[in-house]
Each structure stands twice: as structure tokens, then as C-alpha cells.
Copies of this chain bind each other. A is one copy, B any other.
Amino acid sequence: MQAELAWLEWVRRAAARAARPEIRLGIGDDAAIVRPRRGCDLVLTTDLMVEDVHFLRRRDPAAVCGRRLATRALSDLAAMGAEPLALLVSSVYPPGLPAAWPRQFVRGLLQAAAEAGAQLIGGDVSSAARAGGIVLDVIGAGQAPAGQALLRSGARPGHRLFVSGPLGEAALGRELVHSARSPRTAIERRARARHLRPRARWELGQALRRSASAAIDISDGLATDLRHLCRASGVGAEILAESLCDAAGQDALDRALFGGEDYELLFTLPPGREPPAGFALRQIGRILPARQLWLIQAGRRLPLPAGGYQHWAR
């Protein structure tokens, strides 16, 4: 009880540094209070991170887990075109976990939140009775002008498909870090950094509000997230294998399609709309009327294999 209060007080003080006007009340009462800017809707998302499913304690430093959990929520907000405002985080810790783990975890989370202009405003903490794994749940709150949030459901035949960066590099970086192998190429160095310091695309998401017809973030791998977008829009798509990543070879393509944790945005533009300037975007394909997904590789058109983020820790 006293230890819990001291811990909450530490978190409250660490979180209070990033005050922003929309946060009327942060940590310390029965609930937090958020006042969205006039004319704005509030956008809410929640994401779990479970030990041995989404991370390995002996391989993934606690601060990286904190940054990655924050990024999951911030990436959802980005996909809605929302401006990040606040995070809440609930944590279940197994008995005997060193006290340094939660502190480093919260530090990583707070750093990612601060970079996005979001404030930690609440949460809950519990110890687990059994020796299961750590369970973390983040809640992200953002704001978007009323009725202007980006949805998955607006893609129509003829719209062009874009992504905000090369895909599959976070998966490559995870392989490098987990195998303790040093990066040898420029792509491998970038991949390692993307795994250790993921960053959501909230600036791009907001810039897309006036131009994109649909958007989703790529957290589970392009193949899965493209399927979600097309299902919600009632359409199909074809994508160009060569456009997805900078590295060559089948391994790189597999990571681009199924790797997960890229936290890039996948979005569609109607004919005549220009992508926003100032972002490194790549056109990867187009929307088709029939509800099927195709991969164009070396001039051949193949059904896009199903699949997606394979929980790698199992």
C-alpha cells in the first residue's frame, strides 16, 4: 500500500512535467479530465502488450517496451488523423519483478509520449497472484476536428495506395537485436534503430485529414492491415512487391508483408489529390473493385498470401 502510493507519486510527478491546456486534471483523482479543443472530437484507443507474446523480458529492455507501448497507441491515433493528447497505462506485474523494470518502462513510455505532445494522465497497477508474465495496457486519447477523423472505410476503386516508409525494417531490427548480431549495412543500422526507437506518424496522420480517403496504421504487417482496410471499405487492392522496401530478396519481402511493428501509415488518395508535401511517401498500389488482394512480383500477379504478424515469441 505505502509502496504503491510512493510509486504512484513518482509517476504523477514524472508525468506532470508535460502539462498541456486540454488536460484539465491528470493523475491523482478518481478519473482524469480532458477538454478537447473547441470543435474537436475525442479519439480513443487501447492496446495490450503481454510478456512472451509481444516482448521478451530478457531481450527487450523495459524502456524499449514503454516506448513501444506508447507508440502502439500513438500510431492508432495517427491512423485516425488525431492529434495525440493523453495516455493512460494499466500494468500487472508478477511477484518478484525488480522495481527497476516498472520505472524504466514508465520512463520509456513518458519519453515517447512527450515527443508526441501527449501527457500521462492516469492508469492502474496490480500485482499478479501467480507467476505469469507482465501485462501492460495503454489507452490513447487524441483530438480531431469534428467529423474529420480518418476511417478505414473510405477507399474506393481507383484510389492509389501509399505507405509512409519502407516496410519490414522493424522486424529485421528485432531479428538483429534478439540474435545479438551487429548491423552490417546502412539498412540494418536503420532497422535496428527502428526496432529500438519506434516512432508513430502523428504529423502525417494530421496532414492527411484533408486528402486521404482511408487510413490504417501498419502494426500487424501490411498483408493483415491492408486486408482490414479493404474489408472495411468493401474493396480489393493490388500492390507492387518492388515498392514495399529498400532491401532485396524474399526475406525482405516477407518481412515487409508480415513483419509487424512498422508503425507506418497505409492510406489511399482519390484521383487528383496530391499527397502532403514534406513526407517520404511511397505509392505501393491501387484499390480494385473486386474484394481480392493481389501482389505483383516480377511482372506476375499472385494472390496476396494471408497471414500477418506471427507472434514471434511463441
Which residues of A are interface residues toward B (Cβ below 8 A)? 1, 24-25, 28-36, 41-48, 50-54, 76-77, 79-80, 82, 86, 88, 90, 92, 94, 121-133, 135, 137, 139-142, 144, 146-147, 149, 151-153, 215-217, 224, 232, 306, 308, 311, 313-314
Determine if B123 and A133 form an interchain contact, defined as CB atoms under 8 angstroms apart.
no
List of B residues within 8 angstroms of A94 by Cβ: 132
Determine if B121 and A129 form an interchain contact, defined as CB atoms under 8 angstroms apart.
no
Complex-state Cα separation, A216 to B30, whole angstroms: 7
Complex-state Cα separation, A141 to B44, whole angstroms: 9
List of B residues within 8 angstroms of A42 by Cβ: 33-36, 42, 141
10 contacts between A and B (CB under 8 A): A1-B224, A1-B306, A30-B45, A31-B45, A31-B149, A42-B141, A46-B88, A46-B123, A52-B128, A129-B133
How far in angstroms is the closest Cβ of chain B from A40?
9
List of B residues within 8 angstroms of A90 by Cβ: 46-48, 90, 137
Determine if A44 and B152 form an interchain contact, defined as CB atoms under 8 angstroms apart.
no
List of B residues within 8 angstroms of A133 by Cβ: 128-130, 132
Given contacts A31-B80, A34-B44, A42-B33, whether A50 and B151 have CB atoms under 8 Å apart is no
How far in angstroms is the closest Cβ of chain B from A310?
10
Complex-state Cα separation, A129 to B134, whole angstroms: 11
List of B residues within 8 angstroms of A311 by Cβ: 129
Determine if B25 and A149 form an interchain contact, defined as CB atoms under 8 angstroms apart.
yes
Determine if B76 and A30 form an interchain contact, defined as CB atoms under 8 angstroms apart.
yes
- A45, closest chain B residue (CB): B31
How far in angstroms is the closest Cβ of chain B from A97?
13
Determine if A32 and B48 form an interchain contact, defined as CB atoms under 8 angstroms apart.
no
